[in-house]
Chains A and B, each alone.
Chain A
Amino acid sequence: MTTDLDEYFTPSDERQFVRPTINTPQEYKSKDAFNLQFNERPYGKQFASIYYNRLSALRPRISHKAKSKWGEEVVNGKLVVKKDKVLDVRADEPSWVIGTIFCDMKYKPNILEEVSKGINGANSSVKTYTDPDLDQIMLEDESGRILLEGEILKDTILATGTVVGVLGMETRPGVFQVVDILYPFLSAQKPSRTSNSKIALVSGLHFNGLENYKNDLLVDFLTGELGTGKTKEITRLVIAGNSVLVSEEQQQQEEQDDRNKYGAKHKSNYSVDSVNQLDNFLNEVLQSIPIDIMPGATDPAETSLPQQPLHKAFFQKSKRYLNTSGLRTLTNPSWLQYEELRLLGTSGENINDIYKYIVPNEDQLSRIDMLEATIVWQNIIPTAPDTLWCYPYSEKDPFTLTETPHVYFVGNQPEYESKLVDLDRGIKVKLIAIPIFSETGKIVILDTATLESEVVIIN
């Protein structure tokens, strides 16, 4: 070994760096938007009201846009008219109507079928719901449904539960030929987003009780012991779900233990080893950097959205940080505010589910368009309660946006992607798809001042 390595060795720097702080307000708007009171959580209600509330919240917002865009529109020499109900559309009369998209797809789980076959719980292993030859996209409202057709649909991302306005004409009975689509009027965005420091975003740590050097390097990277200059500017770590993974072996083992205990298959995302490993990880990292942690699909939290914060009892070692801003357990999805910057994040279930509605082809592998779509739809989880489990809200649809965030991040995506989208009225949203750390070794670093993001790979 030659000594020319020496030149790369970091100079001895004995002084301790002090991490800059980022102000995390104790109270901020929508902080508890997805919180459910634990003793007032009745599950006896029907899900229909979510759709109803969603449609009634977004209908005026689409209507507003449609009036200005389609108000004077002439199709086939006839002036376009507005129809209040889906079933009011007439043949040979160009019109526009607002409703909720419903995708009837071959492989999409169907609750009625499941009940009739006696299957309990949807099969989450389905990779895609679509079969391009058979899929039907429909528009529905309180009155009924109408089948949508048109070239434009092929290039548009649509998923069940999306509220849109469509312009077109009934060509055959019950079939509406679409020539244009409108999405809801964008909700307001906080005008100022002053903030200047960096935050790190990571998801899919997948602690499984086994030692992996990547996790330790991540700790060292975050605490600054790895010695790269980047670290000392990072003020906070956001963990966007799936911190724990119960491997199939473990699961089988546990299933064997609990077999037929209550006459049903017992599945749990809880494993002592994994949770302890997570706790140790947090404890080490917290010595240097504050953390916000969200639950995800593989974490020991409830399966229905919005997922409530991870239980405090998981954090035996890190619990002393729990009542401070050092360690905050968040819901999934969750609103965050750093200084003036407003962030909205999910742990990825929404995008992973929307992905299943998209006909798989090579151009569509990217998830970033879906992130953008959810912002344009003004609904971050349209497919709940259809293909994602969700709490039966009766008063509102919490996933419908009433505010557009500055940063919208989604965890547990196959690859890192980011995009700064320019929407109406000068609203810009930074979209970030956070990759699964355990598979890619990637950490995303976001500069909250410029909204530029970069990725660090532990390989």
Chain B
Amino acid sequence: MSIEERSNSLLESQLLKENKPFNYKLLSRELNIHVNDAKKLLYTFYKKHSDSITVNFIIIGKHKEIDGTTIKVTENIEDKENFQSIETIQVYSLAPKNITINEALTTIKAQLKNKPVTEENLAKWGVIKGPELIALDTVLTAPISSDKKTSSAFETKKVSPKKPKSEGSIKSERKSGFPEMGSLRDRMLARNKKEEPKNAIQSPSLSRQGTEKIAKPLNISANKRAKTDPTPTVETLEDDLLNDEEYIAKQKFEKEAQLKKQKELERMFDDDDDEEQDEDVNDVKNGIRKRKDNEKGLEEIFDSSFSQSPVKTSPTKKDKQPAVESEEERVQDEDNREEIDEPKADSKEESVTSYYDEDGYLVTKVEKSKPIVKTMKRSPSPATSNPSTKKSKIASSAKQQSSLLSFFGKK
């Protein structure tokens, strides 16, 4: 079938039967032809069916009364008489009768959205090639390396030129660098699915898992927000690729950052109850520790809210966090398991049900209300490869934590 036949049959079925408006852009995308050809095809079609459809012409030229080049959109071709000289006349759009150009455009643009934009297509449609795109496209053709040292800025550049394309690629792009609540959910879901089998054996720990997920979003969003810092960051991470050494290094790093944060917080709250703190420093009794662990969740939330404040630790340290995050969690799972033995004992008696709600969050319902509080301790806390530092850290965090709690208690 020649292009003209294809065009005519397309226009007949879509425009005449289904009352869908067309402009040259849509036709050129539909048939994958140059816009100039599309304009002509629209005109040919219009000549045949001029009485059943409305047309919008574009007249480009010098208007008699207006200085400068005028681009006039008109339904009435006689407007060309007002022009001193005409560069070109084209058909802009064809639409069913009584549809205004703006209404038609809404429909057309909705359809245009689905058309894949690639370098070749742009060339075919007659879009003038911009220098920037070429540069981007050449980078694009290079395989995307998994080198984790590349900054996110560079990575997005590489992935980017692929344009709208499929849903999937857009999603993956989104994850880099910009706060985007939608993809967050996906990410959570994905993690849920990944980790579920592992923890499925003990239902109590699943329950913790669940609440942790619910606590998580705040944390992630904070980290993401932190990424709007100009400093390029290490973006996504393939946990599996990290070897142990890197791993430990990162954990240490993370811990230092955490400690710094803690000190920062301490300073802010320290006039509250210094004495209490002195007592607490050496007090590592389980009960108290438990309480502190519970407050870890809160602490994270506060940390994250401070993470945007300029007083903070250096951005590079902060930026590392997201990278280590999920891997670290997993380790914590193991490390913490021993520590939390006690609570586990109680929680075994509870009946736990969990399900995904319509938003994709894992919701866990526990019969007793107490364990839910306990689960907070599962929210990300510094890794525990060095127990002594952890203890002291927890201890030092005590005063600040308790003061926070009391602060909220008053409300």
Residues of A within 8 A of B (CB): 1, 3, 5, 8-14, 16-21, 38-39, 210-213, 216-217, 220-221, 223-232, 235, 286-290, 312-313, 316, 319-321, 323-326, 416, 442, 454-459
In the complex, chain A residues whose CB is within 8 Å of the CB of B24:
225
Query: What separation, in Å, do the CA atoms of A454 and B67 have in the docked complex?
Result: 9
Is the CB–CB distance between B131 and A13 below 8 Å? no
Residues of B within 8 A of A (CB): 24-25, 34-37, 39-40, 43, 46-47, 50, 58, 60, 63, 66-73, 77, 86-90, 92, 101-103, 105-106, 109, 117, 122-123, 125-136, 153, 156-157, 159-161, 173-174, 177-180, 228, 310
In the complex, chain A residues whose CB is within 8 Å of the CB of B156:
319-320, 323
Q: Which residue of B lies closest to A220 (CB)?
A: B25
Contact of A225 among B102, B117, B125, B310 (CB under 8 A): B125
Is the CB–CB distance between A287 and B130 below 8 Å? yes
Closest approach, in angstroms, between the C-beta of A292 and any C-beta of chain B?
12
Is the CB–CB distance between A455 and B67 below 8 Å? yes
In the complex, chain A residues whose CB is within 8 Å of the CB of B50:
1
Query: What separation, in Å, do the CA atoms of A17 and B34 have in the docked complex?
Result: 12
Q: Which residue of A lies closest to B312 (CB)?
A: A39
Additional A-B contact list (12), CB under 8 Å, known A18-B131, A228-B60, A288-B127: A10-B90, A13-B36, A14-B126, A21-B131, A225-B35, A227-B60, A227-B90, A287-B117, A312-B178, A323-B157, A457-B69, A458-B71
Closest approach, in angstroms, between the C-beta of B64 and any C-beta of chain A?
13
Max chain B CB contacts within 10 Å: which of A19, A213, A286? A213
Is the CB–CB distance between A225 and B72 below 8 Å? no
Q: Which residue of B lies closest to A221 (CB)?
A: B71
Query: What separation, in Å, do the CA atoms of A455 and B70 have in the docked complex?
Result: 9
Is the CB–CB distance between B173 and A320 below 8 Å? yes
Is the CB–CB distance between A223 and B73 below 8 Å? no
How many cross-chain pairs have Cβ atoms below 8 Å apart between A and B? 181
Is the CB–CB distance between B310 and A39 below 8 Å? yes
In the complex, chain B residues whose CB is within 8 Å of the CB of A220:
25
In the complex, chain A residues whose CB is within 8 Å of the CB of B126:
13-14, 16, 224-225, 227
Query: What separation, in Å, do the CA atoms of A21 and B130 have in the docked complex?
Result: 8
Is the CB–CB distance between A17 and B35 below 8 Å? no
Majority SS of interface residues in chain A?
loop
Closest approach, in angstroms, between the C-beta of A302 and any C-beta of chain B?
17
Closest approach, in angstroms, between the C-beta of A19 and any C-beta of chain B?
5
Is the CB–CB distance between B72 and A213 below 8 Å? no
- Do A313 and B228 contact each other (CB < 8 Å), given the known contacts A39-B310, A213-B101? yes
Is the CB–CB distance between B70 and A459 below 8 Å? yes
Query: What separation, in Å, do the CA atoms of A118 and B72 have in the docked complex?
Result: 50
Contact of B133 among A38, A211, A287, A458 (CB under 8 A): A287
Contact of B157 among A212, A287, A324 (CB under 8 A): A324
In the complex, chain A residues whose CB is within 8 Å of the CB of B46:
1
In the complex, chain A residues whose CB is within 8 Å of the CB of B88:
8-10, 227-228
Is the CB–CB distance between A289 and B71 below 8 Å? no
Write 28 A-B pairs (CB below 8 A) sorted by A numbering. A3-B47, A5-B43, A9-B88, A10-B90, A12-B34, A14-B34, A14-B126, A16-B122, A16-B123, A16-B128, A16-B129, A19-B131, A211-B106, A213-B73, A217-B92, A224-B128, A226-B58, A231-B128, A287-B122, A288-B128, A288-B130, A313-B178, A316-B178, A316-B180, A324-B132, A324-B135, A459-B70, A459-B72
Is the CB–CB distance between A459 and B122 below 8 Å? no
In the complex, chain B residues whose CB is within 8 Å of the CB of A326:
130, 132-133, 136
Is the CB–CB distance between B36 and A10 below 8 Å? yes
Query: What separation, in Å, do the CA atoms of A70 and B329 have in the docked complex?
Result: 79
Query: What separation, in Å, do the CA atoms of A316 and B175 have in the docked complex?
Result: 11
In the complex, chain A residues whose CB is within 8 Å of the CB of B25:
220, 225
Query: What separation, in Å, do the CA atoms of A19 and B37 have in the docked complex?
Result: 21
Closest approach, in angstroms, between the C-beta of A330 and any C-beta of chain B?
16
- Do A213 and B133 contact each other (CB < 8 Å), given the known contacts A1-B50, A12-B36, A18-B128? no
In the complex, chain A residues whose CB is within 8 Å of the CB of B127:
16, 223-225, 287-288
Query: What separation, in Å, do the CA atoms of A223 and B88 have in the docked complex?
Result: 17
Query: What separation, in Å, do the CA atoms of A323 and B135 have in the docked complex?
Result: 13
In the complex, chain A residues whose CB is within 8 Å of the CB of B70:
456-457, 459
Is the CB–CB distance between B132 and A286 below 8 Å? yes
Closest approach, in angstroms, between the C-beta of B40 and any C-beta of chain A?
6
Closest approach, in angstroms, between the C-beta of A291 and any C-beta of chain B?
10
Q: Which residue of B lies closest to A214 (CB)?
A: B73
In the complex, chain A residues whose CB is within 8 Å of the CB of B92:
217
- Do A290 and B43 contact each other (CB < 8 Å), given the known contacts A8-B88, A313-B228, A320-B157? no
Q: Which residue of B lies closest to A453 (CB)?
A: B68
Query: What separation, in Å, do the CA atoms of A379 and B345 have in the docked complex?
Result: 75
In the complex, chain B residues whose CB is within 8 Å of the CB of A217:
58, 71, 73, 92
Closest approach, in angstroms, between the C-beta of B49 and any C-beta of chain A?
11
Closest approach, in angstroms, between the C-beta of B310 and any C-beta of chain A?
3
Contact of A459 among B43, B71, B90 (CB under 8 A): B71
Query: What separation, in Å, do the CA atoms of A341 and B191 have in the docked complex?
Result: 53
Is the CB–CB distance between B130 and A290 below 8 Å? yes
Is the CB–CB distance between B102 and A213 below 8 Å? yes
Query: What separation, in Å, do the CA atoms of A325 and B134 have in the docked complex?
Result: 13
Is the CB–CB distance between B136 and A324 below 8 Å? yes
Query: What separation, in Å, do the CA atoms of A255 and B226 have in the docked complex?
Result: 30
Query: What separation, in Å, do the CA atoms of A21 and B68 have in the docked complex?
Result: 25
In the complex, chain A residues whose CB is within 8 Å of the CB of B34:
12-14
Closest approach, in angstroms, between the C-beta of A261 and any C-beta of chain B?
19
Closest approach, in angstroms, between the C-beta of A249 and any C-beta of chain B?
17
- Do A5 and B131 contact each other (CB < 8 Å), given the known contacts A225-B126, A457-B70? no
